[in-house]
Amino acid sequence: MTRSEIDRNRPLSPEAFPRKHSPGLLWLSLFFVLLFLLPQGLSGQNNYNLFVKQWNAAIQTRDKKKQARLLKTYSAEAIDHFRVLCDRYNISGSNAAADAMEGMKAVWEQVYGSKTLQLIENMRSDLDSDGLRLLRKLDGRRRQAWGLLEVAKKTKKPEDFKKARDEMKAVADALEELGEKLKAAECVLGFVSVLYETPKKNKADVQAMVEALDRYERLHKEWDWTQGKAFKRNKVWAKSIRAQVKRGGIPGNEAPKKKGQGIKLDPNGKDKKLGKYLKGSKWVKEDLYISKMKSLEEGISFAASAWPLAWTGIFLEGTAPKDMDSFKDGPVTLQRLGASKYVAIVDKENPKSKKVPLKIGAKPRSMYVPYMKGEEETEYAFWFYVGSSQVQVGGISLNLSPQWGRRKTALIFYRSASILSCKIAGQELKLYDENFNGKVGEDPGSVMFGDFRLGGGLEKVQGHPSVDSMRIGGKKHLLPFSRYVKLGDSWYRLRVLRNNEVLNYRPLDPATVPTGRIVYKWKGPSKAKPRHVIVREMGFFKGAAFDLVAGGKKGIEVPVGEYEIFYGRIYNGKAPRANYAVLLKGKSPMIKVEAGKTATVQMGAPFHLEFEKKQEGGKIIMDSSTFWIRGSFGVKYTGLMPEVLEPDLVSAKDQKGRGLRKLGTWRRLEGNELEDLRKLYPKVPILYLAYVPINKESKNGITPLITVPLKKAPFIGLRQNKHKMFGKLLPVWK
């Protein structure tokens, strides 16, 4: 995953659109970036404050690696902060500011091999108080020039476009004359944007645009700053302009889109009034910046639990390198070189690639891991953990410690520790990669994991859904990622672009998003009460996902449509001693939400025990790995740990339960019984087998099976009078 270089002025980015688009669409896509990402925006200020906070912390701890990482991520913010330090030193003669400048210059040259900060210092040191006041005045005029462009767009008057263009050029000229070449370059791009918006351009205007882009490149080169992603992207953009001019085209004079174009409607037209974008609105792009989780917390998905043994594992044998196959953003390659010596190979295709040490041990730790994304080195934050010789799993002690002797093996557990953040509609949005594949913003269920603990039996793995999550504003409750979110009084459509580099958002016309409410009610033991109940819309608003628990007693407002219960989590207590379970659709019905109405979902008790049975000849075979709990709404509760199901097998004369007889009992594993069960099911991971109840009365070894003669069981079922999480579990007669 690439950590975006966040430029507060964010000039044009050709990677935001498919390169094979027509020139007209190309220009339109490009220009939307400029129009809505003006200098000194809310997100830009937020990013600057974040950089300064993290930079000061890295300075205090003398963490050179973190300092280098921050300069790579926040190059534009670093330049702005260096300007502040320069002015502070020039005005007050602060020794602290001088020391901070020297430290930042040293790390900057180490990271980029560039003299940019030294050139900035040289220029600022030549300014007296009048020069600094002029610089601040020009900065204000730069913002006003963008305001003039907005006025011209509304009036469509040629004289207003000329006023905006002349002001942008005048400010650029004054900044360059003063020596502030990077800010001058920003205004040059503003000049280009005004020309683009000007209606009925001629060839002279197009030539002025080309010359302005040449000037933009020259200004950056003069200040030795051509390594920033913004510059590289704009260089490609300038190349596309020249190509279009060479073909005789005039960029920006293309015909406007037809009304309704780009809105996807259903074939029958019944949804033609749903989900339209607010008139006059456009997509707004916000760069996503990456940070690392400081402490473990429970996610929505079980694989993103605070309990490390729920994470995905990678098995290392010997000293051979191995890729983390589940990660899709680039090859993350781990290698073990000693008993407790783990490294990440940055570029596995390069025999001379550097190897970065990883501090992996019996205590979960989060860390950045470098890898190659295409031809560029980047990094991603992971949690890592290896077990010890006394790991408690379902009451059984397992030896999961790495071995370094005649046999060299290590089982490493990992999950994502990355947080991708931006600001939309005035609120901070944090995205979490709970399926740890290196991509955020995926629809619920787009990635599934195989799991033997979901009631499908040990012969057949079932799919365990994944849910990427998000946190909006300062709210503590974690929400599933949704393409549709409500912020304040408005609904927005979200898209994550360019593999986690950019989040797009756009307001919807409230008249085309009729809503209702879903109220979730719980009846049953508090220990079994879900922390998350995720529903997803299956019709026009597909991609909309909501957590019913987040709605509280008033319920949650959702767009009209048909919703299914998709996934949920139950956890109580603190890892590793917490009780866990997952919640799946099971036999629950669809939830229909109508405009202005409230749908109620009553969940919880009474609970019944569901199962699968097999008949072989005159015998019935019952397998405890197929058991699951069905609640009052038909929801499936499964994946229980460590409080496994320990039911009785009972028979009855009829489906009312008359003539009930006990035929057998299951219990949890004890002591060394896990190894015996593993011999029967060698393909099933041992951590999954630890939660399979076994036949209490079996005389033929450890097995989850109970076999009874058919004549003794006209109707059979399961019951458990008292489960520690769910309480009384009733039989389903079959």
Residue 180 pLDDT > 80: yes
Question: Does one domain contain both 624 and 648?
Answer: yes
Let me know if residue 386 belongs to a domain: yes
Please give the pLDDT value at position 450: 80
Q: If you average pLDDT over residues 674-678, what whole number do you get?
A: 87
Question: Does one domain contain both 317 and 365?
Answer: yes
Question: Does one domain contain both 94 and 141?
Answer: yes
Residue 257 pLDDT > 80: no
pLDDT band of 723, cuts 50, 70, 90? very high
Question: Does one domain contain both 189 and 288?
Answer: no
Return phi, psi of residue 476, to 5°.
-80, -30
The strand ranges marked E within 242-359 are 284-287, 289-292, 312-317, 322-323, 333-338, 341-345, 355-358
Domain boundary (491, 511, 531) is at 511
Let me know if residue 275 belongs to a domain: no
Which H/E stretch holds residue 543? Answer: none
DSSP letter assigned to residue 246: H
Percent share of the chain, pLDDT over 70: 88
Question: Does one domain contain both 213 and 232?
Answer: yes
Question: Does one domain contain both 239 and 293?
Answer: no
Let me know if residue 259 belongs to a domain: no
Q: If you average pLDDT over residues 497-514, what whole number do you get?
A: 85
Residue-number span of the structural domain to which 672 is assigned: 607-731
**Alpha carbon distance 142, 558 (integer Å):** 42
Model pLDDT for residues 395-419, shown as the tens digit of each residue: 788 889 999 999 999 999 999 999 9
Residue 605: how many other CB atoms lie within 10 Å: 17
Mean pLDDT of the chain: 83
| Of the candidate ranges 44-58, 214-228, 310-324, 405-419, the one whose mean pLDDT is the lowest | 44-58
Let me know if residue 476 belongs to a domain: yes
Please give the pLDDT value at position 206: 81
**Alpha carbon distance 299, 301 (integer Å):** 5
Percent share of the chain, pLDDT over 90: 39
**Alpha carbon distance 201, 196 (integer Å):** 8
Q: If you average pLDDT over residues 143-152, what whole number do you get?
A: 83
**Alpha carbon distance 33, 283 (integer Å):** 8
Question: Does one domain contain both 665 and 722?
Answer: yes
Question: Does one domain contain both 110 and 129?
Answer: yes
Domain boundary (571, 604, 637) is at 604
Structure tokens of 138?
């020009």
Let me know if residue 255 belongs to a domain: no
Let me know if residue 6 belongs to a domain: no
Residue 534 pLDDT > 90: yes
pLDDT band of 237, cuts 50, 70, 90? low
Q: Kindly report the CATH number assigned to the domain that includes residue 551.
A: 2.60.40.3540
Let me know if residue 653 belongs to a domain: yes
How many domains is the chain built from?
A: 4
Model pLDDT for residues 339-353, shown as the tens digit of each residue: 999 999 999 888 889
Let me know if residue 354 belongs to a domain: yes
Question: Does one domain contain both 449 and 416?
Answer: yes
Residue 260 pLDDT > 80: no
Question: Does one domain contain both 48 and 143?
Answer: yes
Question: Does one domain contain both 376 and 345?
Answer: yes
Model pLDDT for residues 492-504, shown as the tens digit of each residue: 999 887 566 788 8
Q: Global pTM?
A: 0.64
Domain boundary (453, 488, 511) is at 511
Question: Does one domain contain both 183 and 230?
Answer: yes
Please give the pLDDT value at position 247: 65
